[in-house]
Amino acid sequence: MSDERKGVAGSTDAVHAGTLSERPHHTLASSIAQTATYTFEDTADLERYMRGEDADPEREEYGRYGNPTVRELERRMAALEAAEDAVAFSSGMAAISTALVTLLKAGDHVVLFRDCYRRTRQLVTQTLVRFGIEHSVVPPGDLDALAAAVRENTRLVLSESPTNPYLYCLDLEELVRVVRARGRIRILVDSTFATPMNCRPLSFGVDLVVHSATKYLSGHNDVLGGLVAGPAHLVSLLRETRGVVGSVLDPHAAFLIGRGIKTLGVRILRQNETALALASELSNHPKVSRVYYPLLDNHPSYAVASRQMRGGGGVVSFIVAGGRSAASRVVDACRLAKIAPSLGGVETLIEQPAVMSYFELGEEQLAQIGVDPALIRLSVGIEDASDIAADVIGALDRV
């Protein structure tokens, strides 16, 4: 079931989708199939399986190829994204890496938007080039630059929406129109920051959507995982590659992610509200020179986000007046918000990307990738909104 106001997922699917009508032993919660291998009654049973004639369509041969607990999570994710199928991985980067390895080959070209997770950028610009895969990096949300970057050998366009850390929202409908007009090019969107509760990229014609399940989907900062959803023929290709490279999700991790997803709807609604209120308050603070949040009317993506998303998500990025050292003092002055590199959990987390993610880069290199040294990224949790605001605003006031 979905929320028809924006065509996004609803909490009913988050709680119930993908579950079997009858669980073993009549348990309400998912069972953890903690096994690396599976047995067969005899040779004839094995041969029936190998021919695809097994009565159980989800039976597996070996843990690297699949697992019942993992498969339940995949079915639920497919429902949440209104996709034909989904496949789970051991981390968000394992999901993106496996997808790119599956979709690209030597001689191909990929277009990537500049504002993105640094490991995704490194994967494209440093790792894939070693295997003969070319790339172009274009400004965030700039579809004209995208169109100009497309080549005859372009096979993939990769973007986040919202992006990390400046929260640009790509006009997905226009993106699909621009890309489809230029040939057989697939589109992969990382929707980790949005979640299917705020936006479903597949509904706009995107080919595949990827999530770091470590973040909002699991929601408790206690497990790693990744998911890709899309049409069955593409997902099956990714599943085959996963079986070869071994980027499979552990069944206990799948259980934790599935349990976390059950509360995704209520968590996201709370985080949407808190983040928007805090972003508005920060916009009026004299020690903040700029706030980035998609549903603030001064954000470059405001019109797109208002039309395309149910909420702006739980991340607020802002630049502290006074530069890098002033931003560091604000981070250190927070007490409720913990310094940590992740986001999307029930706890409020704070980081200064120039220190946490890009510590090895100098001022000139930071400028090249568009990261302000005084930028702070705040991931709001589900604590009382007034307490989060008091913590962050109080830290600013004390600097």
Going by pLDDT thresholds of 50, 70 and 90, the confidence category of residue 6 is: low
Dihedral sign of CA atoms 162, 168, 169, 174 in order = negative
Going by pLDDT thresholds of 50, 70 and 90, the confidence category of residue 3 is: low
Q: Residue 273: which of 362, 381, 157 has the closest Cα? A: 381
Please check whether residues 117 and 220 belong to one and the same domain. Answer: yes
Distance CA 189, CA 201 (A): 7
Please check whether residues 362 and 335 belong to one and the same domain. Answer: yes
Q: Which of 261, 293, 320 delimits the end of a domain? A: 261
Q: Residue 86: which of 222, 225, 216 has the closest Cα? A: 225
Q: Residue 92: which of 56, 75, 66, 117 has the closest Cα? A: 117
Dihedral sign of CA atoms 72, 74, 80, 83 in order = negative
Average pLDDT over the chain, rounded to an integer: 93
3-state class (DSSP) for residue 292: strand
Please check whether residues 146 and 244 belong to one and the same domain. Answer: yes
- Domain count for the chain: 2
Integer angstrom CA distances of residue 158 from 135, 170, 203: 10, 11, 17
List of long-range contacts for 326-330, beta carbons under 8 Å, 24+ apart? 326/287, 326/374, 326/399, 327/352, 327/354, 327/373, 327/374, 327/375, 327/376, 328/352, 328/355, 329/399, 330/287, 330/376, 330/392, 330/395, 330/396, 330/399
119-156 burial: b if 16+ Cβ within 10 Å, else e: ebbebbeeebeeeebbbbbbebbebebbeebbeeebbb
Q: Tens digit of pLDDT for each residue in 316-335?
A: 999 999 999 999 999 999 99
Q: Residue 201: which of 225, 181, 231, 224 has the closest Cα? A: 231
Residue 26 has pLDDT above 90, yes or no: no
Q: Which of 205, 232, 261 delimits the end of a domain? A: 261
**How many C-beta neighbours within 10 Å does residue 3 have?**
15
Distance CA 320, CA 300 (A): 19
Please check whether residues 216 and 246 belong to one and the same domain. Answer: yes
pLDDT at 5: 44
Residue 108 backbone phi and psi in degrees, to 5: -80, 165
3-state class (DSSP) for residue 204: helix
| Cis peptide, bond prior to residue 162, ω within 30 of zero | yes
Please check whether residues 113 and 46 belong to one and the same domain. Answer: yes
Q: Tens digit of pLDDT for each residue in 387-397?
A: 999 999 999 99
Please check whether residues 24 and 53 belong to one and the same domain. Answer: yes
Integer angstrom CA distances of residue 363 from 272, 360, 371, 372: 33, 10, 9, 9
Residue 2 has pLDDT above 70, yes or no: no
Q: Residue 218: which of 249, 260, 251 has the closest Cα? A: 260
Please check whether residues 200 and 290 belong to one and the same domain. Answer: no
Write down the pTM of the prediction: 0.94
Q: What CATH number corresponds to the domain at position 374?
A: 3.90.1150.10
Residue partners of 86: CB distance under 8 A and separation at least 6: 74, 75, 77, 78, 227, 228, 229, 230, 235
Please check whether residues 136 and 218 belong to one and the same domain. Answer: yes
H-state helical runs in the chain: 11-16, 43-50, 68-80, 92-103, 118-122, 143-149, 172-180, 195-198, 232-245, 251-261, 264-283, 302-308, 324-333, 353-356, 363-369, 385-398
Please check whether residues 215 and 326 belong to one and the same domain. Answer: no
Distance CA 78, CA 81 (A): 5
Q: What CATH number corresponds to the domain at position 243?
A: 3.40.640.10
Q: Which of 218, 245, 261 delimits the end of a domain? A: 261
Give CA angle at 170 (166, 171), nearest 5°: 145
Please check whether residues 279 and 228 belong to one and the same domain. Answer: no
Under a CB-based contact definition with an 8 Å cutoff, are residues 346 and 220 in contact?
yes
Q: Tens digit of pLDDT for each residue in 340-383?
A: 999 999 999 999 988 887 777 778 887 877 789 999 999 999 99
Going by pLDDT thresholds of 50, 70 and 90, the confidence category of residue 122 is: very high
Q: Residue 293: which of 215, 376, 373, 356 has the closest Cα? A: 376
Please check whether residues 186 and 322 belong to one and the same domain. Answer: no
Distance CA 251, CA 259 (A): 12
Q: Would you state the structure tokens that stand for residue 351, as one six-digit string?
A: 């980081």
Distance CA 167, CA 16 (A): 30
Residue with more model confidence, 48 or 313: 313
Please check whether residues 315 and 372 belong to one and the same domain. Answer: yes
Under a CB-based contact definition with an 8 Å cutoff, are residues 227 and 199 in contact?
no
Q: Is 289 exposed, middle or buried (0-12, 13-18, 19+ CB in 10 A)?
A: middle
Full domain range(s) for residue 334: 265-398
